[in-house]
């Protein structure tokens, strides 16, 4: 495991630490100062993970080894999170403010994949962000009727921690493969 000799002064405090839940779900990134607080108070422990870096932080009375990855020792506080209701704002947010047909970020509207006139519902699996021109090109028809396709299959937004985890693991993919 590569360890880095660093001075106990500033640069080290620019490092970021990834926090994992008790059951190893990557939750979020925090700065090393917050991580130290969690470690010192026993709310988290350092994790040995792949080639995670370790930093030594010294105070007059104590030396703490902080890993790039730490894990909470207790379960997450149960913060209630509910799937947000279908709304223009939440649809745009889920779709990253991009038209789901052409990728444009301009003149966005909400499109019902299966038109409401054909029984399509106003639900997460049937609404997407669409630019005005894609929306009007599609009109009241079904995708296969006009040869249009969605970039991704629409689904309900996921919990922010899950979204972070998905992104985190994507970033961990080995480069030389």
Contact positions toward Zn ion, by CB under 5 A?
99, 101-102, 104, 131, 134
Closer of 15 and 104 to Zn ion (Cβ) = 104
CB of 100 to Zn ion, least distance (A): 8
CB of 32 to Zn ion, least distance (A): 43
Q: Among candidates 164, 93, 99, which has minimal Cα distance to 138? A: 99
CB of 108 to Zn ion, least distance (A): 9
Closer of 35 and 134 to Zn ion (Cβ) = 134
CB of 137 to Zn ion, least distance (A): 8
Closer of 18 and 131 to Zn ion (Cβ) = 131
DSSP tag of 13: G
Closer of 39 and 99 to Zn ion (Cβ) = 99
CB of 105 to Zn ion, least distance (A): 9
CB of 133 to Zn ion, least distance (A): 6
Report the alpha-carbon distance of residue 100 to residue 115 in Å, rounded. Answer: 16
Report the alpha-carbon distance of residue 94 to residue 158 in Å, rounded. Answer: 9
SS3 138: helix
Report the alpha-carbon distance of residue 65 to residue 45 in Å, rounded. Answer: 10
Closer of 107 and 155 to Zn ion (Cβ) = 107
Using a 10 angstrom Cβ sphere, with 0-12 exposed, 13-18 middle and 19 or more buried, the burial of residue 155 is: exposed
Residue with tokens 């030594």: 56
Interacting residues of 145 by C-beta distance below 8 A, sequence separation 6+: none
Closer of 32 and 131 to Zn ion (Cβ) = 131
Report the alpha-carbon distance of residue 20 to residue 45 in Å, rounded. Answer: 10
């Amino acid at each position: 495991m590569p360890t880095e000799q660093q001075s106990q002064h500033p640069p080290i405090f620019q490092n970021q630490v990834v926090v994992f839940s008790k059951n190893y779900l990557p939750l979020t990134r925090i700065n090393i100062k917050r991580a130290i607080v969690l470690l010192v108070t026993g709310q988290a422990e350092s994790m040995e993970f792949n080639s995670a870096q370790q930093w030594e932080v010294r105070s007059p009375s104590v030396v703490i080894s902080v890993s790039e990855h730490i894990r909470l020792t207790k379960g997450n506080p149960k913060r209630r999170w509910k799937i947000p209701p279908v709304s223009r704002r939440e649809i745009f947010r889920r779709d990253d403010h991009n038209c789901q047909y052409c990728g444009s970020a301009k003149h966005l509207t909400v499109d019902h994949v299966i038109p409401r006139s054909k029984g399509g519902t106003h639900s997460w699996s049937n609404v997407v962000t669409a630019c005005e021109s894609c929306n009007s090109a599609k009109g009241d028809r079904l995708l296969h009727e006009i040869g249009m396709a969605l970039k991704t299959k629409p689904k309900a937004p996921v919990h922010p921690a899950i979204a972070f985890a998905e992104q985190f693991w994507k970033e961990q993919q080995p480069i030389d493969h």
